[in-house]
Amino acid sequence: MADALKIGVAGLGTVGASLVRIIHDRQESLAVSCGRAIEITAVSARNRDKDRGLDLSGVTWFDDPVTMAKNADIDVLVELIGGAEGAARAAVEAALERGLHVVTANKALLAESGVELAAAAEEKGLLLNFEAAVAGGIPVIKAMRESLTGNTISRVYGIMNGTCNYILTRMEKEGLSFEDCLKEAQRLGYAEADPTFDIEGNDTAHKLAIMTALAFGCEISCDDIYLEGISNITQEDIRAASELGYRIKLLGVAQRTEGGIEQRVHPTMVPHDTVIAQVDGVTNAVAIESDILGDLLMVGPGAGGDATASAVLGDVADIAKSRPGTQTVAALGRPAKSLEPYRRARMRSHEGGYFIRLRVADRIGVIAAIARRMADNQISLESIVQHSTNGSDEAPTKTIIMVTHATTELSVRNAVSSMESDGYIVGKPQVIRIEKP
């Protein structure tokens, strides 16, 4: 049997602690399946004295992960610190410079610097593995990077943030407000004390940018993603979607168009009878549309210590099974130097159906004015519904809900803007795209 693969783990939070525990408990079976033992010989974390319930006897402790990457007796650095800059990036760069393989779950780092890190790894014949960075325990990176080789991918989309999916599920099933669901998500540990990164779509955007590079062979571009979060979704939207046969999900969508590559993250209405509409709670789902295989949908745990540690361990095992001189899997599916420049398609050229909710003054001529603005922008309506009168006796209002046939983003935005200029809309209009997978 080959010499043991020595691992240094930077970050002993929920995922890091789970990883250490799993490797310790399954040493024998891992050695058999990988053809060599996997040993954790070094760790780094901020608090040495914290009781993590781990046996770290015989493991060298480093207070600084960069020092560990430079000096520890290891073959692989596992980076579980997080963050696009600071210690995480410095440790990964130091490890690659030294000639160590790297496994990371750091989506922010990859979204910002993935191409540069991939090039550094390839230059030295090293593996840079990051399965856990996207969709937790779902093996979507391996599928796109290896299993779908030869396929031409036209679209990739999915539910990639468990916090948002949990909130939207609770809102629908229990009739709770967004604010109440968020508080419960924070209490259960699904959402951070500052949940902005999750609920405003940034977390999904980082994951989508990585998958876009793998799907289309282009450079990572997380700054070119149209971004909307879920904080403006109301119970009124949830109920209206259900009445129309839809559920609301926060989706990340990337697709190739004639004008380039379109990336977008936003609340989306999906038909009740689709598989992705049935994905509830903190579960994630990723769909890939390709020419040879067809449509592939992968569903599974998107977060949590064990689920993410499982993905990290899979990456470590791949390294353990490889041998010197055989590292041929490019981090981003093709050599970094051959990645095409990212060419952004205009979001406003996207075509599809739209859900539009307006609160309007309850007076004669408003419906006719709405119809005129829609016609001016060549928008055909699939349905239009008026809800009961709201507001005060002095200023009565009603809610108008419209579902359009396929149209363009530009047309919808122009129509809504014109309605706002007409002066009969009360509050902010709600526009949600409709996807029919």
Residues tagged active-site: 207
Burial level of 422, CB count in 10 A (0-12/13-18/19+)?
Answer: middle
- The rounded distance, in Å, linking the Cα atoms of 120 and 304 is 30
Token pair belonging to 205: 């955007």
Token pair belonging to 379: 């928008």
Q: Where are the alpha helices (DSSP H) in 72-106?
A: 86-98
CA max distance for the chain: 84
In order, the DSSP letters of 17-78 are HHHHHHHHHTHHHHHHHHSEEEEEEEEE-S-TT---S---TTPEEES-HHHHHHHSS-SEEE
For residue 417, which amino acid is it?
Answer: S
Residue with tokens 């992705």: 276
For residue 356, which amino acid is it?
Answer: I
- The rounded distance, in Å, linking the Cα atoms of 74 and 71 is 8
Token pair belonging to 368: 């006719």
Q: How many CB atoms are located within 10 Å of the residue 244 CB?
A: 17
Whose CA is closest to 45, among 20, 65, 28, 72? 65
Q: Residue 430, SS3?
A: strand
Residues near 73 by beta carbon (within 8 Å), at least 6 away in sequence: 6, 41, 42, 60
Buried b / exposed e over 271-281, threshold 16 CB at 10 Å, is: eeebebbebbe
